[in-house]
Chain A
Amino acid sequence: MVREILRNLSKDFSVEFRTRFALNVSIAFAVTATVSVSLTAGGVPFPSLVQSILLWMIIFFSAMNGLSHIFVREEDQATALFLRITMSADSIFISKFIYNQSFMMIVLAVVTPLFLFFLQVKVILISYFVLTILSGGLSIAAGATILAAMVAKAGGKGSLFSILSFPLLLPVLWVSIFATKNSLDGARPADYNSLVFLLAFSGFISAISFLLFRFVWIED
């Protein structure tokens, strides 16, 4: 099982990074959104709440542009059938899950510094800020993986993925936005409850999606 997962992972990475289509689209979206917000604001710094809302909206939608590609590609290139024959659903889910998490981390690593750079954001509680971004991204990628499998079955139709993800990931966005605002103000000491909430949410949703994935994936 572990060997299967590793093999699938290395295949996914080499296929995805050969074209880097999804990654390019996500990062290009993030850059465009950040630069256009900064441009229209004309260098005036926003209040911290607005800044954290903008940051999470940009992260959410740039993630939505890329996270579904891992499953949509399998259906597009008609490789899903072979995958279904050769590997168990569980190991496919785990490898895609790990791939999506690393994808999300790359997007975060590009988007967050860019945002801090262009919008003149001053972070006061730096470690808390970084932890919030990381655990928020973890939850988004955790929830989005099984939705990506569903959307791929529906033909990967454009904005369907973000429509499906939004109600599920709303608690994540809420908690992350308020925690980020807190880390930007530094008005209150870092409360780690929200981080615990985000981690608990991602654990919970990964478990549920692991259980549901075989229904979505296996055709009988």
Chain B
Amino acid sequence: MRLIRTAFWVLIMVSLLAAALPESRSDVLYTVTAVILIVWIGLAFFLYRLDRKITRLEKNQQKMKQ
């Protein structure tokens, strides 16, 4: 299920990108985009790990209570 959802979103993004490409853009914009995307991916990865950790803590707590 999760795989399908992710694939769906990737499809949307790729098609949007394809729509974007024909227009000519300066190289600077591509560089800026790349840099910001990389920063964002780092942040998202950090948030994802944080989420996993908190989930694990919650599960541990549930177990401890029982």
Indicate if A touches B (C-beta under 8 A): no
Chain B residues engaging chain A, CB cutoff 8 angstroms: none
